[in-house]
């Protein structure tokens, strides 16, 4: 199950409920240490030197508890009592160039600016430009506001305990938090807190998509119609088609402009490619879902096609995914259908939809998602970017936990929109659109994570080759 994003006060109340149940702080610390150790092993190699910076509080205890799980690493622990007295020791450890620093200096309880001595200490850690694993929260960062309290550790990865804290998800916190991971099972009682913002866990997709029945055929898995591609932007159509194939719908037909037909058709085999014309009556086909938009950025796109997309968005009884240029053509009015409507803007496209700026969208991503959905008749919104959001104008919003900066390549969004539409084209999956949308986004990011472990210079074509194969227990 996804877990709520909570405040510091909610976290403290959760801890108190746990101690009242009879669970001990020592046992929770032991489990947190095991989680930290397991993640540290993923981030390093046998024999690597690992430096543990442990403060005086429970955050330091958590970091120290990781040591017993790092038996084949070279471990150094610096217990920091006074940042001035221990600064020279820090210098010596950093001169040895540790492969990983585990930051356990301060936890979520910090609520006032750091002293100049602590600022100097933390800035020296940051200057080492080493890989850092922060325990619960990067030291010096307010987990409530997302602002540094004078200085804060620049973590590569933050492993937060129990549930994400609200401040860690703010744009101001991103440079310090790095990749956010959650240790949800550390001996705390079931989370008693609620929130409209939910953090996705890989376990949410155990056994999903469901196994296919033996006695089935391609007609059992839907027929996706894609309208994509124009002169100079044909690659987006190809990538969307190939992304859709990885979702394994029964059939895929891709309509593209006549001027792009030859180059698109030459690159696809199982995807059926047709020339779009006014005679191509998409509303009368045996489709089960539509995808509109990838590669339709050319001025050659006829107004008639734009009108058709608006008409189908309003009236079609089928799931529709809209991406890229087609986002600008959608009608801002009620729709007659109850079938899923999904848009997948990046921050720049979201800004256009809201007559805003990308900076304003990033400053309030939840608000931007809500506003876009409201303008588009409560459709589902996938607001792409770091920690992609999925939700609507009302109800829970889910934060995706997978993915990395190497997804920032041209074409990765086209692959996602194709993959998502290919899933929604399947009747068994479109019946639960939220889980299907969340899975598509998670799988797309998890594929990038899997590639990053084996091939650091992977490209979008590699993403297509692996997409759909990552299991929920990968992390």
DSSP string, 56-106: SSHHHHHHHTTGGG-TTSEEEEEE-S-TTTTHHHHHHHHHT--SEEEEES-
Check whether residue 157 and residue 241 sit in a common domain. no
Asked if residue 414 has pLDDT above 90, the reply is yes
Per-residue pLDDT tens digits for 232-241: 999 999 999 9
- Whether 223 and 249 have beta carbons less than 8 Å apart is answered as yes
- Measure the CA dihedral 57/62/68/71, to 10°: -110
Residues 350-370, mean pLDDT to the nearest whole number: 96
CATH assignment at residue 305:
3.40.1190.20
How many other CB atoms sit within 10 Å of the CB of residue 206? 10
Please classify residue 298 by burial: count the beta carbons closer than 10 Å to its beta carbon, then call 0-12 exposed, 13-18 middle and 19+ buried. middle
Residues 6+ apart with CB under 8 A from 434: 380, 390, 398
- Please check whether residue 360 lies inside any domain of the structure: yes
- Whether 202 and 4 have beta carbons less than 8 Å apart is answered as no
The pLDDT confidence band at residue 333, using thresholds 50, 70 and 90, is confident
- Whether 355 and 361 have beta carbons less than 8 Å apart is answered as no
Check whether residue 177 and residue 249 sit in a common domain. no
Per-residue pLDDT tens digits for 425-461: 999 999 999 999 999 999 999 999 999 999 999 999 9
- Please check whether residue 44 lies inside any domain of the structure: yes
- Please check whether residue 6 lies inside any domain of the structure: no
Residue 472, pLDDT score: 86
Distance CA 11, CA 25 (A): 14
Indicate the number of domains in the chain: 2
Residues 362-380, mean pLDDT to the nearest whole number: 96
Parent domain of 406 = 218-466
Phi and psi at 289, nearest 5°, equal -170, 160
Distance CA 315, CA 59 (A): 55
**Which runs of E-coded beta strand occur in 228-371?**
251-256, 272-275, 289-292, 320-322, 341-343
Which residues are bridge partners to 76 per DSSP? Answer: 51
Asked if residue 278 has pLDDT above 90, the reply is no
- Whether 62 and 91 have beta carbons less than 8 Å apart is answered as no
Check whether residue 105 and residue 181 sit in a common domain. yes
Residues 268-272, mean pLDDT to the nearest whole number: 97
Distance CA 69, CA 65 (A): 8
**Of 430, 435, 469, which is closest to residue 450 (Cα–Cα)?**
469
- Please check whether residue 289 lies inside any domain of the structure: yes
Task: Output Rg (C-alpha) for the chain, integer angstroms.
Answer: 24
CATH assignment at residue 102:
3.40.50.10260
Residues 141-150, mean pLDDT to the nearest whole number: 97
- Please check whether residue 386 lies inside any domain of the structure: yes
Give all strands of the β-sheet with 197-199 in edge-to-edge order: 3-4, 197-199, 397-399, 389-391, 380-383, 341-343, 320-322, 289-292, 223-227, 251-256, 272-275
Check whether residue 233 and residue 146 sit in a common domain. no
408: helix, strand or coil:
coil
The pLDDT confidence band at residue 23, using thresholds 50, 70 and 90, is very high
Is this prediction's pTM over 0.85?
A: yes
Asked if residue 326 has pLDDT above 90, the reply is yes
Check whether residue 174 and residue 223 sit in a common domain. no
Check whether residue 293 and residue 404 sit in a common domain. yes
Check whether residue 418 and residue 357 sit in a common domain. yes
- Whether 353 and 382 have beta carbons less than 8 Å apart is answered as no
Asked if residue 284 has pLDDT above 80, the reply is no
- Give the max Cα distance, the chain: 80
Residues 303-318, mean pLDDT to the nearest whole number: 95
Check whether residue 260 and residue 156 sit in a common domain. no
Asked if residue 280 has pLDDT above 80, the reply is no
Distance CA 165, CA 14 (A): 13
- Please check whether residue 146 lies inside any domain of the structure: yes
- Please check whether residue 410 lies inside any domain of the structure: yes
Check whether residue 272 and residue 416 sit in a common domain. yes
- Whether 229 and 236 have beta carbons less than 8 Å apart is answered as yes
Check whether residue 229 and residue 181 sit in a common domain. no
Please classify residue 303 by burial: count the beta carbons closer than 10 Å to its beta carbon, then call 0-12 exposed, 13-18 middle and 19+ buried. exposed
Residue 337, pLDDT score: 87
Check whether residue 173 and residue 125 sit in a common domain. yes
Asked if residue 386 has pLDDT above 90, the reply is yes
- Please check whether residue 80 lies inside any domain of the structure: yes
Check whether residue 295 and residue 365 sit in a common domain. yes
The pLDDT confidence band at residue 283, using thresholds 50, 70 and 90, is confident
Residues 6+ apart with CB under 8 A from 346: 384, 385, 413
Q: How far apart are the first and last CA of the chain?
A: 16
Phi-psi region at 357: left, alpha or beta (left = phi > 0; alpha = psi -120 to 50)? beta
């Amino acid at each position: 199950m996804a877990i709520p994003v909570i405040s510091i006060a909610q976290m403290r109340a959760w801890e108190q409920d746990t101690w009242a149940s009879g669970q001990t702080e020592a046992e929770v610390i032991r489990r947190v240490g095991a989680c930290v150790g397991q993640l540290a092993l993923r981030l390093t190699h046998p024999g690597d030197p690992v430096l543990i910076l442990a403060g005086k509080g429970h955050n330091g205890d958590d970091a120290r508890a990781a040591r017993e799980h790092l038996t084949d690493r070279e471990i150094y622990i610096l217990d920091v009592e006074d940042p001035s007295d221990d600064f020279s020791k820090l210098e010596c450890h950093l001169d040895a160039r540790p492969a990983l620093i585990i930051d356990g200096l301060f936890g979520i309880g910090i609520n006032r600016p750091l002293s100049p001595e602590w600022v100097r200490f933390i800035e020296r850690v940051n200057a080492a430009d080493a890989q850092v694993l922060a325990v619960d929260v990067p030291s010096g960062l307010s987990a409530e506001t997302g602002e540094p309290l004078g200085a804060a550790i620049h973590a590569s990865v933050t492993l937060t305990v129990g549930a994400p804290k609200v401040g860690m998800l703010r744009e101001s916190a991103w440079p310090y938090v790095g990749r956010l991971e959650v240790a949800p099972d550390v001996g705390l009682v079931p989370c008693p807190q609620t929130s409209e913002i939910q953090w996705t866990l890989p376990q949410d997709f155990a056994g999903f998509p469901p196994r296919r029945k033996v006695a089935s055929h391609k007609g059992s898995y839907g027929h996706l119609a894609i309208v994509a591609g124009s002169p100079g932007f044909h690659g987006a159509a190809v990538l969307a088609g190939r992304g859709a194939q990885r979702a394994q719908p029964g059939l895929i037909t891709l309509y593209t402009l006549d001027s792009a037909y030859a180059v698109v058709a030459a690159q696809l085999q199982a995807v059926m490619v047709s020339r779009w014309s006014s005679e191509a009556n998409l509303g009368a086909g045996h489709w089960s879902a539509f995808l509109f938009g990838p590669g339709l950025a050319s001025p050659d796109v006829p107004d008639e096609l734009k009108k058709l997309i608006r008409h189908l968005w309003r009236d079609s009884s089928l799931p529709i995914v809209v991406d890229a240029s087609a986002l600008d053509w959608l009608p801002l009015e009620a729709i007659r259908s109850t079938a899923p409507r999904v848009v997948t803007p990046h921050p720049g496209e979201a800004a256009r939809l809201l007559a805003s700026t990308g900076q304003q969208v990033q400053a309030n991503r939840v608000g931007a998602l809500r506003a876009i959905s409201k303008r588009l008749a409560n459709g589902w919104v996938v607001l792409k970017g770091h920690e992609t959001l999925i939700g609507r104008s009302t109800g829970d919003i889910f934060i995706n936990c997978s993915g990395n900066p190497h997804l920032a390549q041209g074409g990765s969004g086209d692959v996602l929109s194709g993959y998502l539409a290919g899933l929604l084209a399947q009747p068994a999956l479109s019946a639960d659109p939220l889980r299907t949308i969340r899975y598509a986004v998670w799988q797309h990011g998890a594929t990038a994570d899997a590639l990053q472990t084996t091939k650091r210079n992977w490209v979008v074509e590699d993403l297509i080759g692996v997409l759909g194969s990552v299991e929920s227990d990968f992390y």
